[in-house]
Amino acid sequence: MNARKVSSQPPIPDSSRREPSLTIGVLGAGQLGRMMALAGYPLGLRFVFLDPAASAPAGSLAEHVVADYLDEQALERLSACDVVTYEFESVPVEAARRLAQKTQVFPPPDALAVAQDRLLEKECFRALGVPTAPFAPVSTREELASHVQELGLPAVLKTRRFGYDGKGQAVLRSEADLDAAFAELGAQPLLLEGFVPFERELSLLCVRGRDGKVAFYPLVENRHREGILRVTYAPADGIRDSLQATAERYAGQVLERLAYVGVLTIEFFLRDGELYANEMAPRVHNSGHFTIEGAETSQFENHLRAILGLPLGSTEVLEPCAMLNLVGDLPPREAVLAVPSAHLHFYDKAPRVGRKVGHITVRAATRAALDANVTRLLRLPGAG
């Protein structure tokens, strides 16, 4: 018998084996950054946030440089970080490019530039054969009139940049709407899109590592009200494997094309069993918040794993989940936590009309049990 020699001495700790401390620089310090930090601390990561808003939600958790995104000294501080990322896509691409000269920046600044501009984004989808609504760039009132002739009505007029939560867009239902919409939005470059009479809105969260490995979460369903995401169901109900496979094929092509590293979210319209890409977010996403308690690995952890070159975690969803945004108001903690398997996230933001100030995730073994919990939660102030 081969006896293994077992030393009675405990191994002498080798201080050189300590994992090096790693600091992540983050442009933006909103709730997405806050949740990223909360996911990163168990991995031994440190964070430095740059955001001009002194009261930004991540600021109470980590070092927060309060300065303009292009401030020289602030960028100097971030460039000392091991990796820089973004939690907000409207940061100047220039800041990301300057940082990329000194440290590693993921997702690549070129991907940020594409995702910031609805025209470049839609052209990227089109070039890859990913279906979208028909679209055309608009910069004058005359162009608007002629593209409305081509695309027909109803149509949606959007600013190419800086739109969020339904802001910076107008639905054109008749010719009579054109003047007012152009007067409101026309100071900026615009995009006209054909209106998609969709049945459901879905999103796909995906993640690509530095080694090119990819992982996808299941498609989720998003319900909006007044242009703001209110409830996400994960996984989306009744999605055929072939539809999931199509979404993954589309997203995989986008990830490759952009040489992407990190979490990317693509929002789709579902119409007659077909997916139409609406937009992409080069970051963790509101529709992925359910992954904190609802998936084997959260989107925040997977984003960090990806940008650090660590192995990606499983994207398996553990049980049917729903995520309810808390918009404009906060319910009492007791009322939320009294609901079985409800988890509460407050973002440390002052409630204001239309402002996302927190969210609730709820899980259940069956969709029927989940619906019962969601119905109960929807009665609370701010929920859904």
Task: Assess 133 for contact with ligand AMP (CB under 6 A).
Answer: yes
Task: Assess 89 for contact with ligand AMP (CB under 6 A).
Answer: no
Q: Give, as ranges, the residues between 245 and 304 that touch ligand AMP (CB under 6 A).
A: 267, 278-279
For residues 282 and 287, give the distance between their C-alpha atoms in angstroms, rounded to a whole number: 13
Nearer to ligand AMP, 168 or 294 (CB): 168
Query: Are residues 207 and 299 in contact, defined by beta-carbon separation less than 8 angstroms?
Result: yes
Stretch that binds ligand AMP, among 192-200, 316-324, 334-342, 353-361 (CB under 6 A): 192-200
Cα four-point dihedral sign 121, 126, 132, 135: positive
Nearer to ligand AMP, 82 or 279 (CB): 279
Least distance (Å) from ligand AMP to the CB of residue 278?
A: 5
Phi-psi label, residue 270: left if phi above 0, alpha if psi -120 to 50, beta otherwise = beta
Stretch that binds ligand AMP, among 8-16, 81-89, 189-197, 239-247 (CB under 6 A): 189-197
Stretch that binds ligand AMP, among 15-23, 193-201, 281-289, 301-309 (CB under 6 A): 193-201
Name the E strands within the chain.
Answer: 22-27, 45-50, 63-65, 83-86, 104-105, 135-138, 155-159, 169-172, 190-194, 200-208, 214-216, 220-225, 228-234, 262-271, 274-281, 321-327, 342-346, 356-363
Nearer to ligand AMP, 191 or 206 (CB): 191
The residues near 299 (Cβ < 8 Å, ≥ 6 apart) are: 205, 207, 217, 263, 284, 285, 288, 289, 291
The residues near 36 (Cβ < 8 Å, ≥ 6 apart) are: 24, 26, 47, 58, 85, 87, 284, 300, 303, 304
Task: Assess 173 for contact with ligand AMP (CB under 6 A).
Answer: no
Nearer to ligand AMP, 133 or 204 (CB): 133
Least distance (Å) from ligand AMP to the CB of residue 167?
A: 8
Task: Assess 224 for contact with ligand AMP (CB under 6 A).
Answer: yes
Task: Assess 156 for contact with ligand AMP (CB under 6 A).
Answer: yes
The residues near 369 (Cβ < 8 Å, ≥ 6 apart) are: none
Nearer to ligand AMP, 264 or 336 (CB): 264
Query: Are residues 221 and 320 in contact, defined by beta-carbon separation less than 8 angstroms?
Result: no
Total residues contacting ligand AMP (rule CB under 6 A)?
13
Least distance (Å) from ligand AMP to the CB of residue 164?
A: 7
Binder of ligand AMP out of 44, 152, 212, 227 (CB under 6 A): 227
For residues 167 and 22, give the distance between their C-alpha atoms in angstroms, rounded to a whole number: 37
Task: Assess 82 for contact with ligand AMP (CB under 6 A).
Answer: no
> For binding to ligand AMP (CB under 6 A), which residues are involved?
133, 156, 163, 166, 193, 195-196, 201, 224, 227, 267, 278-279
